[in-house]
Amino acid sequence: MITIAQLDKIAGKKVDRPNAQSFLSALEKYGPRYGLLPPHRLAQELAQVMHESGAFRYDREIWGPTPAQQRYDTRVDLGNTPEKDGDGKKNLGRGPIQLTGGGNIKRFHEWCVKEGLAPPNFVENPDLINTDPWEGLSFIWYWEVGNPTGKSLNRYADIGDVEMVTKKVNGGLNGFDDRLRYLARASLVLLGRDPNSVEKYQREKGLAADGISGPQTRAALHADLLALTPGATEAKSTSIAPVTEKKPVAAVPKELDKPTMETKGFWERIFTLVGLSGIGGASWLGDWKVILALAVAVAVVTVIGLVFHNRIITAVKELKGAING
């Protein structure tokens, strides 16, 4: 289980005690029920919570209202009414992950009832979300079923896919660099290391020691975190996002992608090229022998056509005269 002192290290400063403790208390009590405590999952959870809450500085949305917040009042997609009746402000974001909108608040309440937690009426009084243990539970609900997939985000954490976790929490990749920064710091702290020791960790792992927690470094951290949980194995579809596998792609067919003298033969090469791409193909443009041969062939055909053209016309006229005579 993680401690306040560890949260301080991850944040690089002292976190807000009441807000952080609300999160930790719920995680300690209910985390085992939903499989949230294995270190590789915990690192992903903390990366999102630390960013969304400003390292536990905020447990509710700061209300301006901004132009976007003014539109909350009629945002039916958030579960608010279409009328301007003040429910936008009433249902502003609360908790470590900013639970927002009448629809989400209602679903959170229903989930708490279903789980046998005897919640107060958040729908009538959303401020009750910011009391214990509901504040921390609002994060657990979202991670478990409240996100757009309706399924636990553990499946993405298990393969180290921070990009997909972020998309399901944020709806996009806003603040992605900050989330990656917190993921690296949380991973190192959970491994018992200094949160600023990325470069040292990279040297120990034989990686490029640039101090940047890129895909390979995140993959190594994820593997080390998995090793802390007895019996934990990495899913086959591991994707330490964002990673792009680079594969060579042939620009021309394999039999042609070598020097001319190594191919099957000159005229066979001509027939292969024509069969592959026709005269309109572009792969033969770099072979001067092919171009010369084709030019000669075209010239010969043209000359033959001119020579026999008059003879054919004369023969036709003679045949026509014989018929008419």
Task: Give the whole-number percent of the chain exceeding pLDDT 70.
Answer: 74
Residue 200 has pLDDT above 90, yes or no: yes
Residue 203 has pLDDT above 70, yes or no: yes
> What's the CA gap between 212 and 191, in Å, rounded?
18
Rg of the chain (C-alpha set): 34
Q: pLDDT grade, residue 297 (50/70/90)?
A: confident
Q: What's the whole-number mean pLDDT along residues 308-325?
A: 65
Residue 15 has pLDDT above 90, yes or no: yes
Average pLDDT over all residues of the chain = 83
pLDDT value, residue 299: 76
Residue 26 has pLDDT above 90, yes or no: yes
State pLDDT tens for residues 219-274. 999 999 999 998 776 554 444 444 433 333 333 333 333 333 333 444 444 444 44
Residue 307 has pLDDT above 60, yes or no: yes
Q: What's the whole-number mean pLDDT along residues 8-20?
A: 97
> What's the CA gap between 118 and 109, in Å, rounded?
9
Please count the other Cβ atoms lying within 10 Å of the Cβ belonging to residue 227: 13
Q: How many Å from the N-terminal Cα to the C-terminal Cα in the chain?
A: 114
Looking from the CA of 253 toward its CB, the CA atoms found within 13 Å total: 13
- 236 vs 102, more confident: 102
> What's the CA gap between 233 and 320, in Å, rounded?
90
pLDDT value, residue 295: 74
Contact 4, 17 (CB under 8 A): yes
Q: What is the set of domains in the chain, with CATH numbers?
A: 4-59+94-226 (1.10.530.10), 254-324 (no CATH)
> What's the CA gap between 195 and 193, in Å, rounded?
6
Cα 6 from chain centre: 28
Q: pLDDT grade, residue 44 (50/70/90)?
A: very high
Helix intervals (H) in the chain? 4-11, 17-30, 39-52, 67-72, 87-90, 102-114, 134-141, 154-157, 162-170, 176-190, 198-204, 215-226, 266-277, 288-324
Q: Is 195 helix (H, G, I), strand (E, B) or coil?
A: coil
List of residues 6+ apart from 90 with CB closer than 8 A: 102, 126
Q: What's the whole-number mean pLDDT along residues 158-174?
A: 96
Q: Is 6 helix (H, G, I), strand (E, B) or coil?
A: helix
pLDDT value, residue 288: 56
Contact 177, 51 (CB under 8 A): no
Largest CA distance in the chain: 119
- 316 vs 249, more confident: 316
Type of residue found at 72: Y
Residue 284 has pLDDT above 70, yes or no: no
Q: pLDDT grade, residue 105 (50/70/90)?
A: very high
Task: Give the whole-number percent of the chain exceeding pLDDT 90.
Answer: 70
pLDDT value, residue 304: 72
